[in-house]
C-alpha cells in the first residue's frame, strides 16, 4: 500500500463519521480512483459517496477524464466572534487544465466596475449615474437608453444587476468597455490572480483588434452635464502565450473543420481564482488586503442582494417565468421552478462550448448552514465545438444538481462547535 493511499484512508477514517455508511476504502465504488487521490480528493470523494444521491453515478463520471471535472469546497466554521474559518478541499483541481470560463468572468468584471468608480473619486459619479456608450471603432455599438431600467437610463448599477440575476451578455460587454482590457487584467493580476486573461466581449463575434478597443463613454448628472468622460481606449496588453487546443473538430461558417478547436486567445481564469474572488467579496475581512477589492459598505450590500436575487423577485429589470429560480443557480439543488425561500445562493455561473461552471456560496437559513462550492465540467461527448450539441441536460445539469445536494446533505449533518450567525446574509428582496 502506497503513501498516498495511506493518507487517503486516514482522511476518510477521521472525516466520515456515519457508521451506517461505508467509507471509500470499504466500498467497491471509486475503487479505480483510490491510488491517485490526495487528502483533499479523499474528503470530497467521501462526501459524494456517503451523502450523494444513489440516482447519480459520480464514480462513472469521475473515471472519465473527458469530463474534466474540477471541484473546490470550502467548509466554513465560526469562531466565538462569529468570524468565518475556512477549510478548503479540492478534487482534480489542476490550474494547467483549461476550461472555458464563459460567463463566470462577469463576476470579477462587475466587482472591478464598482472599484473603478470608487478610484475615480469624482463627486456625483456612482453606479446610479447615467452612462452613455458611444461607438468609436469597428464592431462597436452605442447605448443611449436601457428599457430594462426604471427610468430608461443606462447605469453601471443596472448592468451589474442584470449580470448576476440573468447573466446578461450585453450588460457584461458594457462593463468590459467601461473598464478597458488592460485595467481588467493588470488589476486582477496585481491582486495575485495570475491565471486571468479576460480579453474579449461575449456573444458577439469580434476580432482581437476590435476587442482591444473599447467604446468611448460619458457619465451625465441629473441636469445633463458631463461629469466624467473616457475616450476610446486601445489596449496594448501583451497576451500570455498559450497553446490550448481541444476536441477533434468545430464548425466555422456552417462547415465542419476536422481539427482541434483553438482556445488559445479565449478568456481564461482558473477555478481557484474564481473561488477566491467570490470569497474576497463575501468575506473581505478574512482576506489579505491585497486580495480585496476597493468597495464601500454600500457596494457590498448592493452586490449581496443582486448576487442572490431570483429573477422573479426583480421589478427592474422585470423577467418572465422562463427565468426560473435556478436559471443561473446550477448548484441550487436542481429546482426547476422554485428554490425554497430558506435557501440563498450568492454565485456566478457560466456555460458555453460544453463547459458548465458554477462558483457559489450557499446558505440554508432553516438549518443554519453555509458553505462555498465551485465546480466545472466539460459536457461535449462528440468532441465537436460550435455544433450546439452539448450534454448540458443529460450530464452537466444533473451533475450540478447532485453535487449541490450531496454537499448540502453533508453540511446539514455536520456538527459545529459554535453557532453560526447568518444575519449578514438575510436580505430584504422586496424593494
Q: 333 vs 414, 422, 429, CA distance in Å?
A: 18, 20, 21
Give one word for 376, left, alpha or beta, with left for phi > 0 and alpha for psi -120 to 50.
beta
Cα distance between residue 280 and residue 86, in whole Å = 12
- What is the length of the chain? 431
Cα distance between residue 302 and residue 294, in whole Å = 14
Phi, psi of 355 (to 5 degrees): -90, 135
Per the structure block, which three cell numbers stand in for 296?
464601500
Cα distance between residue 216 and residue 266, in whole Å = 24
Burial pattern 293-330, b for ≥16 Cβ within 10 A else e, equals bebeeebbebbbbbbbbbbbebeebebeeebbbbbbbb
Q: Write out pLDDT tens, residues 148-166.
A: 999 999 999 999 999 999 9
Asked whether 385 and 250 are in contact (CB, 8 A), the reply is: yes
Q: Cell 426604471 maps to which residue?
A: 150
CA quadruple 188, 326, 169, 294: dihedral, nearest 10:
-30
CA angle, 331 then 335 then 341, to 5°: 90
Per the structure block, which three cell numbers stand in for 55?
440516482
Strands 384-385, 249-252: parallel, antiparallel or unpaired by DSSP? parallel
The 10 Å Cβ neighbour count of residue 389 is 12
Asked whether 376 and 356 are in contact (CB, 8 A), the reply is: yes
Q: 373 vs 62, 274, 279, 330, CA distance in Å?
A: 17, 11, 11, 11
Strands, DSSP E only, in 253-393? 255-257, 261-262, 343-352, 355-364, 369-378, 384-385
Q: Cell 482541434 maps to which residue?
A: 260
pTM comes to 0.91
pLDDT tens-place values along the chain, 431 residues long: 443 444 444 444 434 433 333 332 323 333 333 344 456 789 999 999 999 998 899 999 999 999 999 999 999 999 999 999 999 999 999 999 999 999 999 999 999 999 999 999 999 999 999 999 999 999 999 999 999 999 999 999 999 999 999 999 999 999 999 999 999 999 999 999 999 999 999 999 999 999 999 999 999 999 999 999 999 999 999 998 999 999 999 999 999 999 999 999 999 999 999 999 999 999 999 999 999 999 999 999 999 999 999 999 998 888 998 999 989 999 986 556 678 889 999 999 999 999 999 999 999 999 999 999 999 999 999 999 999 999 999 999 999 999 999 999 999 999 999 999 999 999 999 87
CA quadruple 219, 220, 221, 225: dihedral, nearest 10:
130
Amino acid at each position: 500500500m502506497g503513501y498516498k493511499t495511506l493518507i487517503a484512508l486516514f482522511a476518510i477514517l477521521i472525516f466520515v463519521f456515519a457508521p451506517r455508511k461505508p467509507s471509500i476504502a470499504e466500498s467497491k465504488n471509486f475503487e479505480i480512483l483510490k491510488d491517485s487521490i490526495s487528502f483533499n480528493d479523499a474528503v470530497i470523494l467521501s462526501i459524494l459517496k456517503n451523502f450523494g444521491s444513489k440516482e447519480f453515478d459520480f464514480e462513472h463520471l469521475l473515471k472519465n477524464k473527458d469530463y474534466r471535472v474540477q471541484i473546490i469546497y470550502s467548509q466554513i466554521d465560526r469562531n466565538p466572534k462569529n468570524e468565518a474559518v475556512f477549510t478548503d478541499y479540492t478534487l482534480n483541481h489542476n490550474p494547467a487544465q483549461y476550461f472555458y470560463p464563459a460567463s463566470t468572468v462577469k463576476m470579477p468584471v462587475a466587482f472591478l466596475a464598482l472599484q473603478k468608480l470608487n478610484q475615480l473619486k469624482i463627486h456625483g459619479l456612482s453606479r446610479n449615474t447615467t452612462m452613455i456608450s458611444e461607438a468609436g471603432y469597428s464592431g462597436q455599438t452605442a447605448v443611449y437608453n436601457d428599457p430594462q431600467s426604471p427610468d430608461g437610463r443606462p447605469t453601471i448599477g443596472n448592468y451589474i444587476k442584470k449580470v448576476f440575476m440573468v447573466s446578461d451578455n450585453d450588460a457584461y460587454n458594457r462593463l468590459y468597455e467601461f473598464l478597458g482590457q488592460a485595467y481588467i487584467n493588470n488589476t486582477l493580476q496585481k491582486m495575485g490572480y495570475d491565471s486571468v486573461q479576460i480579453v474579449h466581449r461575449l456573444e458577439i463575434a469580434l476580432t482581437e483588434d476590435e476587442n482591444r478597443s473599447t467604446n468611448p463613454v460619458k457619465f451625465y448628472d441629473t441636469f445633463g452635464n458631463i461629469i466624467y468622460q473616457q475616450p476610446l481606449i486601445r489596449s496594448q496588453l501583451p497576451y500570455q502565450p498559450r497553446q490550448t487546443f481541444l476536441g477533434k473538430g468545430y464548425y466555422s461558417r456552417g462547415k465542419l473543420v476536422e481539427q482541434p478547436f483553438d482556445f488559445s486567445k479565449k478568456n481564461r481564469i482558473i477555478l481557484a481564482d474564481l473561488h477566491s474572488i467570490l470569497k474576497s467579496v463575501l468575506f473581505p475581512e478574512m482576506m489579505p488586503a491585497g486580495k480585496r477589492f476597493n468597495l464601500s459598505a454600500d457596494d457590498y450590500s448592493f452586490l449581496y442582494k443582486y448576487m442572490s436575487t431570483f429573477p422573479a423577485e426583480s421589478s427592474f429589470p422585470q423577467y418572465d417565468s422562463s427565468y426560473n429560480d435556478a436559471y443561473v443557480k446550477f448548484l441550487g439543488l436542481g429546482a426547476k421552478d422554485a428554490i425554497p425561500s430558506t435557501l440563498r445562493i450568492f454565485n456566478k455561473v457560466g456555460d458555453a462550448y460544453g463547459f458548465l461552471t458554477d462558483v457559489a456560496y450557499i446558505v440554508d437559513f432553516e438549518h443554519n448552514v453555509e458553505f462555498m462550492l465551485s465546480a466545472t465540467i466539460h459536457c461535449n461527448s462528440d468532441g465537436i465545438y460550435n455544433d450546439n450539441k452539448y450534454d448540458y441536460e443529460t450530464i452537466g445539469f444533473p451533475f450540478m444538481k447532485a453535487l449541490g445536494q450531496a454537499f448540502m446533505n453533508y453540511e446539514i449533518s455536520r456538527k459545529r462547535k459554535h453557532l453560526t450567525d447568518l444575519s449578514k446574509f438575510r436580505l430584504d428582496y422586496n424593494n
